[in-house]
Structure formats: structure tokens, C-alpha cells
Structure 1
Amino acid sequence: MRIGTLSERTGIPRRMLRYYEETGMLIPGRCANGYRNYDEQSVDRALQIRGLLDAGMPTRVIKQVLPCLKQPGIIHVLNAAPETLDLLERERDSMSERIETLTGSRDAISRYIDTVRRARVPEAEAA
């Protein structure tokens, strides 16, 4: 399939798909005319990459774990290098810290909203 079709099927902009290719995370075939030719597995691969990026994982880490991701939701690890495991542990810990920070921020905003709404109720009743 051409890049436009892959973009439509995944919801990922063409420019981003080209970036995935530039970084070596997504490798299309090439037609005789030089056009990119993506196979059916490219749909899942592009979605995996997008999901990992959305989770906050940097591309340098994604490139290392992609070979372990043969199908969505299934991880195949063959002789994982200790460096890769250390890197993934650091990424996991970093994600956990970001989650805690976001949770704290969300909770603070919720408390603020609740306080403002409670303060408005007496104003509305007085009117």
C-alpha cells in the first residue's frame, strides 16, 4: 500500500510516517518507480510506534524494543541485552514519575474546580 493509504488506515500523518522511516523504525519496500510500498504488517507496526511515542518513550528506546514486538500486545524477547533491560527499566521508572506528577496535577485541578463550583452555588441561590 502507498503511504497515503497507510496514513488513512492508521490516522498517522504522512510526515510522521516518513519520520518513522528516517529513524529506521518503519521500513517500507520500494516499487520500481521509487514509491514507498508498505505491507499489511506496517499498519500494526506504525500503530505500535505511535502508541510508544504517545506513552512518552523516546525513539532511541523504541528502536531497541521494536524487534521484540512481533504482534500487537505480544512481546518476544530473545537474549535481551542487560543494557536494553536497564534502559527499559529507566524508561518505566520515568513514566511512573510522570504519571505521579500528572495525577497530582489532575487532582489539584479537580480540587480547584470543586472549590470554585461550591463558591458559585451560594451566589446562584442569592440571586
Structure 2
Amino acid sequence: MRIGELARRTAVSERSLRYYEEQGLLAARRTGGGHREFTESAVDRVIHIQKLFAAGLSSRTIADVLPCMRDCDGGPAAVATPSLVETLLGERARIDARIAQLASSREVLDEVIEAASGA
């Protein structure tokens, strides 16, 4: 499939897809006319990339993580290095801390809403 179709199917801009390719996160073969052609598995790969970016991972970390994830390329997953596992544990701890901060903020808002509504 061409880049426009991949963009439509994943709701990711063509610009982002080009960036993913530049960063080594996504591979495309080139036609004789120089157009990018992606395999069907690129849809799942882009979805995985989006989820990892949403989790706050850098493109460099994502490049390390993708080979360890199943269903991206249809092949067996690589084994994560201890260093990568440590990085991911740190990212998870960062996310957990952010969740705790958000929960605390929600509690404060709940208190303000309750006080403002006269309940």
C-alpha cells in the first residue's frame, strides 16, 4: 500500500510516517517511480508505534522495543536486553507517578466541585 492509504488506515499523518521511516521504526520498499510501498503488517506496526509514543517513549527506545513485540512483523519476538528492561521499568514508574498526580488533581477538583455546588 502507498503512504496515503497507510495514513488513512492508521489515522497518522504522512509526515509522521516519513519520520517513522527516517528513524528506522517503519520500513518501506520503493517502486521504480520512487513511491513508498508498505506491507499490510505496517498497519499494526504503526499502531504499536503510536501506542509507544503515547506512553512517552522516545523514538530511540521505540526502535529498541519494536523487535521485542509480537504481531509487528509476524515473526518471533526478540528477547529484550537487561538494559532495555530497565529503561522500560523506569518509563512505567514515570507513568505510575503521573497517574498518581492526576488522581490527586482529580480529588482536588472533586472537592472544589462539591464545595461550589453547595452539597
Note closer, same or farther for the CA distance 1:114–1:14 as it changes in structure 2 (3 Å cut).
farther
Q: Residue type matched to 1:32 in 2?
A: G
In structure 1, the residue matched to 2:27 is 27
In structure 2, the residue matched to 1:39 is 39
- Whether 1:76 aligns to 2:74 is no
Q: Residue type matched to 2:69 in 1?
A: L
Deviations 1:59-111 (CA, angstroms, capped at 9, x unpaired): 22111110011316xx9342x32111111111111111111112212222232
Q: Percent identity?
A: 39
Q: How many residues align?
A: 116
Task: List structure 1 segments (4+ residues) > 3 angstroms apart after TM superposition.
Answer: none
> Could you tell me how far apart the structure 1 residues matched to 2:113 and 2:22 are?
44
Gaps of 5+ in 2: none
**Alignment RMSD:** 1.8
Q: Residue type matched to 1:101 in 2?
A: Q
- Whether 1:17 aligns to 2:17 is yes
Gaps of 5+ in 1: 120-127
For normalisation by structure 2, the TM-score amounts to 0.86
Q: What is the SS of the residue equivalent to 2:92?
A: helix
For normalisation by structure 1, the TM-score amounts to 0.81
In structure 2, the residue matched to 1:8 is 8
